[in-house]
Structure 1
Amino acid sequence: MQRRLLQQVLSARRLSNLSIGPSLFTPSTHYSLRQSSQTPFLQQLENPNQPSSQISIDRSALFNPSEHSHEPSTDSELIKHLKGIIKFRGGPISIAEYMEEVLTNPKAGFYINRDVFGADGDFITSPEVSQMFGEMVGVWAMCLWEQMGQPDKVNLVELGPGRGTLMADLLRGASKFEKFTKSLHIHMVECSPTLQKLQRHNLRCADEDTNGSDVDQSIISNLAGTPVSWHATLEQVPSGLPTIIVGHEFYDALPVHQFQRASRGWCEKMVDVAEDSSFRLVLSLQPTPATLYLMKRCKWDATEEITKLDHIEVCPKAIELTHTIAKRISSDGGGALIIDYGLNGIVTDSLQAIRKHKFVDILDNPGSADLSAYVDFASIRHSAEEASVDVSVHGPITQSQFLGSLGINFRIEALLQNCTDEQAESLRAGYWQLVGDGEAPFWDGPDEKTPIGMGTRYMAMAIVNKKQGIPIPFQ
């Protein structure tokens, strides 16, 4: 059955640096880049088996800046908001809090009020590269649905759906398999009103009043006749049905805490305001609440590996999200597919900012650039296994291995038989971006547009209910 699904889908559709400014604080500050003797609490990170002590942050020696300046300000609303938080707190904020405000602040967050995807945006994701990506994810979802016993009702959830391109291509590719598409209720986990509108448009959604009242109203995608719902969080997606979850380039946008080793032990990097009113990074002198997650992460890896590192990133929200996913899959059945760029181990110092397809400083004009960090796939594995004994974790494997095993090579051959020369060039370029490694060797176009392969930089991991066996293509 799985082989037949693959063959049918493949022929189903034609082309359609840490920069540190001057210190705000007096020499006795409790947030400083100055190094001092190691405290007993921080020594526990070198010996995690010792019991932990209470976490506290002493702000008594913080210097309080003047209340206002008569100089004209050109700060954006988000910058004013960030500086206001730092002033109200009486000291710097964590990089994670900075990152969360920059990306998802309800009024001025990077993702909230604009379309940031594609050639005219700030970055391009795999679904925007080629229709084949969404189609292959659809093949994976159908194969998992079959392993689940072809249930009559399934929740298909996408985390951070962007423009809705992946889901639209998935539904188009699967539209001939009516038993599968009729079983679906699609749930889009999206906090941006702007992107929700784009998703509705790309899924060709129409409001359908089911009984003539104003109370019970569902939204139907005309691509496959499937109902679609939107939610701000995964927890809001109704439980009780087998669930298939897709998280493509979602984990990389979750806020991370960064730690740097100093003579006194591990210190958290914080965001502060310098004397010239610019943002700068400082190190905490006292342990911060996120230190608990650093200790947790260190326990998951060999001590000798930790001693070699000077920087570590931890992502508490990734751990919490994985717990939620694993518990949902454990109770309701189904599985989750996570595709992102990252490492199968501890991530050190990966946080980056991208504006108009170019890297910029993470503190430069916050809100105007995307912030993202490498995904710690090993941490996802540990988190899922810790959350439930009823789930199994598979991978990570490279995106090239994942797409290749699902049949993307056969799909492009089928598409190339029914296309123009211009479409063929676009198909080959997109194919290389999805599965290649480095610059495409066949490219004859302008150098600045040479396709760069994502095939080995992106990785795929699956979390499934053990009752369903090993999912394709992780056997």
Structure 2
Amino acid sequence: MLRRALLQASARCRFSSSSSLLLASRRQCSSSSSSSQVPEDHFVEQSVDTPQTPPSATISVDRSALYHPPDHSHEPTADSELVKHLKNIIKFRGGPITVAEYMEEVLTNPKAGFYVNRDVFGAGGDFITSPEVSQMFGEMIGVWTMCLWEQMGQPKRVNLVELGPGRGTLLADLLRGVSKFKNFTESLQIHMVECSPALQKLQYQNLKCLTEDGTDGNTEKKCISTITETPVSWHMTLEQVPTGSPTIIIAHEFYDALPVHQFQKASRGWCEKMIDVTENSLFRFVLSPQPTPATLYLMKRCRWAETKEIAGLDHIEVCPKAMDLTQEISNRIGTDGGGALIIDYGLNRIVSDSLQAIRKHKFVDILDDPGSADLSAYVDFAAIRHSAEEFSADVSVHGPMTQSQFLGSLGINFRIEALLENCTDEQAESLRTGYWRLVGDGEAPFWEGPDEQAPIGMGTRYLAMAIVNKKQGVPVPFE
């Protein structure tokens, strides 16, 4: 009996020591559930590089046969498929993921991404873009496109590419606006770069497309926009768009959805912010204890900036995909001719901490219910300029200028005057509201309705930039 009691006591001692060691070995990272800022006093002092105090127990413990059941495996979970997917990535990787990886999964995951399986635009969606505000926006982009085509020497064939076309509203309004200029419309080959099957269907409808059978059995079917009898095709990436012809690229509110890496200044230097899962299965921000691959892009971005621009910053966002995309655009334009128009909200300098989430026209927490809200960040127009100029000597970059200046120089003021001459009172109110949203600054002074519904102008918050082949000169209206 005494021998059995001693054996039982020894077993209890081994189990207790094993549990203590397991708890002591958990990875520790600081977090904040309501803010993307990570307090450095929590994380830096608990870096994985910090030596730990050796345990006082002198018993040698063999843990190889211990069983580790999954957390809460016996309880039902209310997590969405995307949330489960994100947690599994973190679990199987054995550590946190970057903000950029999180952002890319949330927006474009093939099964549950925010943009993939639904229409998120317009009053009934989560946000409204300029083409949805007024037909005049697409019409003015049409004016710019046709002016560039004339500067290019009116080539017989042009690839007109839109990146992230949304519902296709911009191109539909563009084609209607230029439909009388047959030489221009007959030169166009439209290419839509879109990853969402749901949005592709809407684009097909809004461009009033028809699919025609080939003239013989070996010819592929062709899709034609009946607005101007222009061929239309869809692609997952810009790389898939055929080369060899002059190309005009439109990127409206496309760059802001490209995934960004966020860095925060800590006592040991710039650390990348990551996303991890807490013990109670919630997402949280943490700091990487060591340099990450994206640090190379941070170094490049800092090299482009002046020392005083960085000195007062505690956060920096960099977008490697924006830099790489700009280089791809520059290479295509430098080789084939043409130009690109980029319109988005952003800054002409380093972007600090701008990542935001919008659900049903309201700002929400970035980590709240991933996949149910749009994630976007300010566009770093200075980085776009440097990326283009550094990559190709055959292109020139112009701007940025405000959207108000851009649309005003293209003649939007004359266009609204013409539209107001033949419209009802209700249509006139809609036109004035749309006009203010496109070119105004702040709340519309003519608004007489509820304050919360007052149209807010985005004329100064949105910027326009052009990248063109140097042989074509300076594009309008950047002279």
Q: Same fold (TM over 0.5)?
A: yes
Q: Distance in 1 between matches of 2:195 and 2:378?
A: 22
- Is 1:387 matched with 2:391? yes
Equivalent residue for 2:70?
Answer: 67
The more displaced of 463-472 and 441-450 is 441-450
Measured after TM superposition, the shift of residue 60 of structure 1 is: 12
Equivalent residue for 1:345?
Answer: 349
Measured after TM superposition, the shift of residue 29 of structure 1 is: 4.3
Equivalent residue for 1:253?
Answer: 257
Q: Is the 8 A contact 1:147 1:468 kept in 2?
A: yes
- AA of the residue aligned to 1:152: K
3-state SS of 1:349 partner: coil
Measured after TM superposition, the shift of residue 215 of structure 1 is: 4.0
Q: Distance in 1 between matches of 2:314 and 2:470?
A: 38
Q: Distance in 2 between matches of 1:132 and 1:163?
A: 16
- AA of the residue aligned to 2:136: M
Q: Distance in 2 between matches of 1:65 and 1:349?
A: 39
- AA of the residue aligned to 2:231: P
Partner deviation per Cα, 1:235-282 (whole Å, 9 max, x = no partner): 000000000000000000000000000001001110111111111101
3-state SS of 1:321 partner: helix
Q: Is the 8 A contact 1:258 1:311 kept in 2?
A: yes
Q: Is the 8 A contact 2:442 2:457 kept in 1?
A: yes
- AA of the residue aligned to 2:269: G
3-state SS of 1:146 partner: helix
Question: Out of 340, 357, 361, which is 1:357 matched to?
Answer: 361
Question: Out of 365, 368, 371, which is 2:372 matched to?
Answer: 368
Equivalent residue for 2:420?
Answer: 416
- Is 1:157 matched with 2:161? yes
**In the superposition, relative to structure 1, how do residues 315 and 459 fare at CA in structure 2: closer, same or farther (>3 Å)?**
same
- AA of the residue aligned to 2:211: D
Q: Aligned pairs, how many? A: 433
- Structure 2: state its 5+ residue gaps: 1-21, 31-39, 53-66
- Structure 1: state its 5+ residue gaps: 1-23, 40-56
Q: Distance in 1 between matches of 2:169 and 2:387?
A: 29
Partner deviation per Cα, 1:392-431 (whole Å, 9 max, x = no partner): 0000000000000000000000000010000000000000
Q: Distance in 2 between matches of 1:199 and 1:87?
A: 38
Measured after TM superposition, the shift of residue 66 of structure 1 is: 5.5
Measured after TM superposition, the shift of residue 307 of structure 1 is: 1.9
- Is 1:465 matched with 2:469? yes
Q: Distance in 1 between matches of 2:120 and 2:50?
A: 38
**In the superposition, relative to structure 1, how do residues 386 and 220 fare at CA in structure 2: closer, same or farther (>3 Å)?**
same
3-state SS of 2:326 partner: helix
Question: Out of 218, 221, 235, which is 2:239 matched to?
Answer: 235
- Is 1:308 matched with 2:312? yes
- AA of the residue aligned to 1:452: I
Q: Distance in 1 between matches of 2:378 and 2:443?
A: 21
1:24-423 equivalences under 5 Å are 29=27, 32=30, 33=40, 34-36=42-44, 67-69=70-72, 70-213=74-217, 215-423=219-427
3-state SS of 1:101 partner: helix
Q: Is the 8 A contact 1:35 1:263 kept in 2?
A: no
Equivalent residue for 2:17?
Answer: none
**In the superposition, relative to structure 1, how do residues 65 and 437 fare at CA in structure 2: closer, same or farther (>3 Å)?**
farther
Measured after TM superposition, the shift of residue 448 of structure 1 is: 2.2
3-state SS of 1:270 partner: strand
Report percent identity of matched pairs: 76
Query: What TM-score do you get using the length of structure 2 for normalisation?
Result: 0.87
Question: Which structure has the bigger radius of gyration?
Answer: 2
Q: Is the 8 A contact 1:313 1:349 kept in 2?
A: yes
Q: Distance in 1 between matches of 2:23 and 2:166?
A: 41
Q: Distance in 2 between matches of 1:348 and 1:466?
A: 32
Partner deviation per Cα, 1:177-217 (whole Å, 9 max, x = no partner): 00000000000000000000000000000001131426421
